[in-house]
Amino acid sequence: MRQVVLDTETTGLDVRQGHRLIEIACIEMVERRLTGRYYQTYLNPDRAIDEGARQVTGIEDDFLLDKPRFADVVDDFLAFVDGAELVIHNASFDVGFLDAELARVGRNVGKIIDRCRVLDTLVMARERYPGQRNSLDALCKRLGVDNSRRDLHGGLIDAQLLADVYLGMTSGQVALDLGFTPGGEEARENLGSLPVLDVRPVVLRASEDELASHESRLDTLDASCRGTSLWRLMQRGSAA
């Protein structure tokens, strides 16, 4: 399965007030492995960035003056995401801004949902960790993903962190060596300054007391069924 982990930055929080995209960042995964392919662009929004957004992203208005407008890059962007499952944290926010930009293009390019499936990791996190904070930073801390380089919100860094968080939530392991295929050094170089997080899962083994307690419980089950319990047979099978 081809997935694209996507993150955007915007001039403000409310698309209904005319706020615009200022960055799109996408990282490709195939069969849960990062391929090294990515798409990233800054955008000229033709409007000022709100002060709050400027503080969060570190992006200044002057920096965007010579950047392309969304209409200039729409074909390249759609070619990269077309047919993929998009992995997005708080997907309604990003998809809302993307759909608004697609509508402004002025030709029949449709909406994101017409081209891609969307998986919202915020919805997934709320189901798995009810009543807890489920921001990207909170999930990084919970799953042991190193987000120390996230001083400011940046598209590529946030997309990679989200990839690690997604893998952690769906497999019980974090990063999986980032899933780079053979020739991974080239993939790492292609990602430029994108940080590589080499995180390994912690293996927890039962103590002697826990093993003894487990055996005692199996003895009780054997006695209750006056023979060899299913759990004892399963244990023998796994040890064979």
Handedness of CA 17, 26, 5, 9 (dihedral sign): negative
- Contact between 182 and 85 under an 8 Å Cβ cutoff? The reply is no
- Contact between 226 and 208 under an 8 Å Cβ cutoff? The reply is no
Strand partners, 86: 4, 118
Nearest alpha carbon to residue 177 among 150, 203, 157, 196: 196
For residue 179, what are the contacts with CB-CB under 8 A and spacing of at least 6?
29, 32, 33, 34, 167
- Contact between 22 and 110 under an 8 Å Cβ cutoff? The reply is no
Helix H segments across the chain?
Answer: 51-57, 70-81, 91-104, 121-128, 136-143, 155-171, 184-190, 208-224, 230-239
For residue 234, what are the contacts with CB-CB under 8 A and spacing of at least 6?
none
The DSSP output letter for 7 is E
Catalytic positions = 153
